[in-house]
Amino acid sequence: MAIEWLLTTPVLFYAGSRFFRSGYAELRHANPGMNSLVMIGSSAAYFYSVAALLVPGFFPAGTAESYFEAAVIVTLIFLGRYFEHIAKGRTSEAIKKLLQLQAKTARVIRDGEAVEVPIEAVVPDDRIQVRPGERVPVDGVVEEGQSYVDESMISGEPVPVAKQKDAELVGGTINKNGSLTFRATRVGADTVLAQIISMVESAQADKPPIQALADRIAGVFVPVVILLAILTFITWFSFGPAPALSFAFVTTVSVLLIACPCAMGLATPTAIMVGTGKGAEMGVLFRKGAALETLARMDTIVLDKTGTLTRGRPELTDFILVEGREDEVLA
């Protein structure tokens, strides 16, 4: 038991110190959460075990047991957050790949000469030159030249798209074989690529409905557990057998220990992050976390990748019915 004490102390009070800081802050603001429950439950188990080790005669016969293994709660939480960190890393890797598509410099025409400037120095209405093989630095509209541009980063299409005067260019795409001069229309955070990166980052912070539900339940669950622990102590101390204080303490700690490792509070965020991370690993980026939950209820997915576009909107060109009535299926 003494060895368990030595091993548990640094795990609980060094590695798990963040739970004590956060838990204390939650209690101080009268808003107990999972950190409060971890702090109270693990502390109760630890100090109960220390008392059982140092003064075992204080406890009723057979109750001077060690609960130092309560430090496993802290270990399990960190393990869950480690898995969450791995999942986040997959999506972060996708974001890094998107960032690599951004050009670092642009060849801007100023005073009749092409000058290479950092991408941050480009402003709307700047005239920019793009040579063959270079990335388009920002969004814009072609003013001079003809070329084919690889827009696979946006459309997924491997076939380059013809560009000529008045055609729109998207920053991050690759100019293939001709030289183009275009006028910048969107720069910095306003470009299409920057907005895609922002959406992916926002999806990581977005809470799906199930996560919001878990937070609301935890907000009620924790105060209820603490209240039950207090009632348990009062009941055993008032009506329990002698020594009443010892039995009251044992039963109160038991309530806190059983409630402390709340699976819902740990599993929900981990499952969400694994889902979004696995999607990013396979090239599927979720714009919002809620989309991941919605996906579980889908039974049919319709993809329109290269269909005819009319003023930017998909247009149905053919409808092939396999079975059933056409009006019913279309409805």
Backbone φ, ψ for residue 181 (5° rounding)? -120, 125
CA 105 to chain centre: 31
- The Cα-based distances of 240 to 46, 49, 128, 250 in angstroms read 24, 22, 84, 12
304 in catalytic set: yes
Measured in degrees and rounded to the nearest 5, phi and psi for residue 174 equal: -115, 125
- Strand runs labelled E in 133-203: 139-144, 147-150, 161-163, 168-169, 174-175, 180-186
- What is d(CA 217, CA 207) in angstroms, rounded to the nearest whole number? 15
Between CA 151 and CA 168 the distance in angstroms is 11
Name the catalytic one among 139, 299, 304, 327: 304
Here the tokens at position 107 are 């060849």
By DSSP bridging, strand 180-186 and strand 174-175 are: unpaired
φ/ψ of residue 125, rounded to 5: 80, 0
Active site residues: 304
